[in-house]
């Protein structure tokens, strides 16, 4: 369990002196959520809310006879627009969790992917750090419910990940548990290299012809979860705010809150990371081949949902939907932070930022003073014309960019050109 700040110990000591032998009453589920939403410290046997942290957003009793039912009730009470009020959408998530791990928070496969949704690589590292930050020991079954709550909360706030599901709910042609299971598989789990076809026509456009692991099993699990749990009702209705709207009031107009120790906490940077291929995805051997022109599915979905670049209609010489300017514009539109950001032309885009009160030029980050850069800062160069986004991966400086002859963004090594300018979206952090 995390250490409570000294000021809280002082408060508790004073409370105990005043209260004497008065027994401490457990907080109701709604009161826990009220406190959590407003960043108020309180003691709970299974959880300590952390002021200003996204993982204090969802504080709910994990009621149910199975982990699948507990997860269903969690999502039902989470206040996620389009999900918590949509049993079929909840079923789509539960179907995937059942297929991935049987909703076991301590599940781990032979490749080292862990947790209820089988996070791999950097996502696995971030999840392990999040569990450890709450004092949860991997595999300790006595902490199973606490681990499940942490993983569910982390899942719905994972930077640039869960928003792909909520942002694309409208793409489902047949709003059934099976179709929502396919959507979660395609945009969140992204388990390609499988054998299963995507059947829902709307989701199939996002799948881009790929086959997915155990698609039929996920559909079956989703239908079963819907049959078992769709009649359940929320435990209370006092809290109607969604997690994305209940982030710390001191934060800016960012449209989502983020958690996890290996992520930036900045919606511009996190969106850019999600839409870009990971570093070294495109190898030297792939240069100027069809393999180098395979758009990342999340980027394809973002292009289509925002309309930036007329959906694969402009960008590279091949007209496949990316260039540095189109990529940055897609990030700004898809994050919801600046839907008036110009679609093309670094010079035009810099003029937009320079004339807008929503941006500030960070002169202290120019002329080689890189320590002043923050994730999400937009870097513009005039000669050659180029625009890209500063990000950090595991604390290391990187950039998200789309270069010449590319169809999507990539995470690459950090560099600048002489005379670069830096702009920061004032509401982006």
Indicate the pairing of strand 409-413 with strand 276-277.
Answer: parallel
In whole angstroms, give the CA distance from residue 296 to residue 56: 32
Q: Which two tokens stand for residue 87?
A: 């049993």
Q: Which stretch of DSSP H or E encloses residue 239?
A: none
Q: Determine how β-strand 378-382 pairs with β-strand 385-393.
A: antiparallel
d(CA 397, CA 375): 9
- Domain limits, CATH 1.10.530, in the chain: 62-239
Angle at 69 between CA 73 and CA 162, to 5 degrees: 60
Give the pLDDT score at 76: 92
Contacts of 390 (CB under 8 A, 6+ apart): 269, 373, 374, 375, 376, 377, 378, 379, 397, 398, 399, 414, 422
Q: What is the DSSP letter of 354?
A: H
User: Model confidence over 158-190: pLDDT tens digits?
Assistant: 756 788 898 889 999 999 999 999 999 998 888
Q: How many CB atoms lie within 10 A of CB 184?
A: 27
Q: For residue 120, what pLDDT is reported? A: 84
Q: What percent of the chain has pLDDT over 70?
A: 70
Alpha carbon 161 to its chain centroid, in Å, reads 3
Name the one residue in this structure whose structure tokens are 């850069």: 373
Q: DSSP 3-state assignment of 359?
A: strand
Give the integer Cα–Cα distance in Å for 56 and 234. 19
Q: What are phi and psi of 172, to 5 degrees?
A: -70, 125
- Tell me, what DSSP letter sits at residue 388? E
- Asked whether 286 and 292 are in contact (CB, 8 A), the reply is yes
The Cα 189–Cα 182 span in angstroms is 10
Helix, strand, coil shares of the chain, percent, nearest 5, are: 45, 10, 45
The larger pLDDT score, comparing residue 313 to residue 278, is at 278
Identify whether 384 is preceded by a cis peptide bond (ω within 30 of 0).
yes
CA dihedral 332, 334, 336, 342 (to 10 degrees): 40
Phi, psi of 62 (to 5 degrees): -85, 80
Lowest mean pLDDT among 116-120, 147-151, 392-396: 392-396
Chain segment 185-228, per-residue pLDDT in tens: 998 888 887 889 999 999 999 888 889 999 999 999 999 999 99
Task: Dump pLDDT digits (tens) for 103-145.
Answer: 999 999 988 899 999 988 777 888 898 888 888 899 999 899 9
How far apart are alpha carbons 187 and 224 in whole angstroms?
22
CB within 8 Å of 368: residues ≥ 6 apart: none
**Residue 248 burial by Cβ neighbours in a 10 Å radius (0-12, 13-18, 19+):** middle
Which fold is adopted by the domain 62-239?
Answer: Lysozyme (1.10.530)
Closest CA to 5 of 48, 37, 46, 36: 48
pTM over 0.85: no
């Amino acid at each position: 369990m995390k250490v409570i700040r000294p000021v809280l110990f002082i408060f508790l000591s004073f409370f105990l002196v005043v209260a004497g032998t008065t027994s401490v009453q457990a907080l109701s589920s709604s009161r826990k959520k009220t406190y959590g939403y407003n960043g108020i410290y309180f003691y709970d046997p299974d959880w300590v809310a952390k002021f200003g942290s996204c993982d204090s957003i969802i504080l709910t009793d994990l009621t149910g006879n199975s982990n699948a039912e507990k997860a269903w009730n969690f999502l039902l009470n989470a206040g996620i627009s389009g999900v918590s009020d949509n049993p079929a959408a909840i079923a789509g998530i539960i179907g995937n969790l059942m297929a991935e791990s049987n909703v076991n928070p301590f599940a781990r496969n032979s490749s080292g992917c862990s947790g209820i949704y089988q996070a791999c690589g950097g996502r696995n590292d971030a999840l392990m750090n999040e569990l450890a930050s709450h004092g949860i020991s991997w595999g300790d079954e006595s902490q199973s419910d606490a681990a499940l709550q942490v993983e569910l909360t982390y899942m719905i706030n994972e930077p640039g990940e869960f928003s792909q599901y909520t942002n694309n709910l409208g793409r489902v042609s047949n709003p059934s548990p099976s179709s929502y299971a396919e959507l979660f598989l395609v945009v969140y789990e992204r388990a390609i290299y499988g054998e299963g076809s995507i059947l829902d026509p709307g989701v199939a456009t996002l799948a881009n012809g790929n086959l997915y692991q155990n698609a039929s099993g996920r559909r079956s699990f989703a239908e079963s979860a819907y049959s078992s749990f769709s009649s359940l009702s929320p435990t209370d209705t006092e809290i109607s705010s969604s997690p994305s709207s209940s982030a710390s009031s001191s934060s800016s107009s960012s449209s989502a809150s983020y958690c996890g120790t290996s992520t930036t906490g900045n919606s511009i940077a996190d969106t850019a990371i999600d839409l870009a291929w990971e570093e070294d995805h495109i190898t030297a051997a792939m240069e100027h081949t069809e393999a180098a022109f395979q758009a990342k599915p999340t980027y394809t979905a973002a292009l289509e949902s925002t309309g930036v670049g007329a959906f694969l209609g402009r960008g590279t010489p091949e007209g496949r939907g990316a260039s540095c300017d189109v990529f940055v514009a897609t990030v700004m539109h898809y994050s919801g932070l600046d839907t008036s950001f110009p679609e093309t032309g670094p010079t035009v885009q810099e003029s937009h930022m320079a004339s807008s009160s929503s941006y500030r030029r960070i002169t202290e980050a120019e002329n080689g003073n890189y320590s002043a850069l923050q994730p999400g800062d937009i870097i513009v160069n005039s000669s050659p014309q180029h625009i890209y986004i500063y990000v950090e991966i595991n604390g290391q400086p990187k950039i998200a960019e789309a270069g010449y002859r590319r169809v999507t963004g990539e995470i690459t090594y950090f560099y600048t050109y002489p005379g670069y300018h830096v702009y920061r979206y004032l509401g982006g952090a």
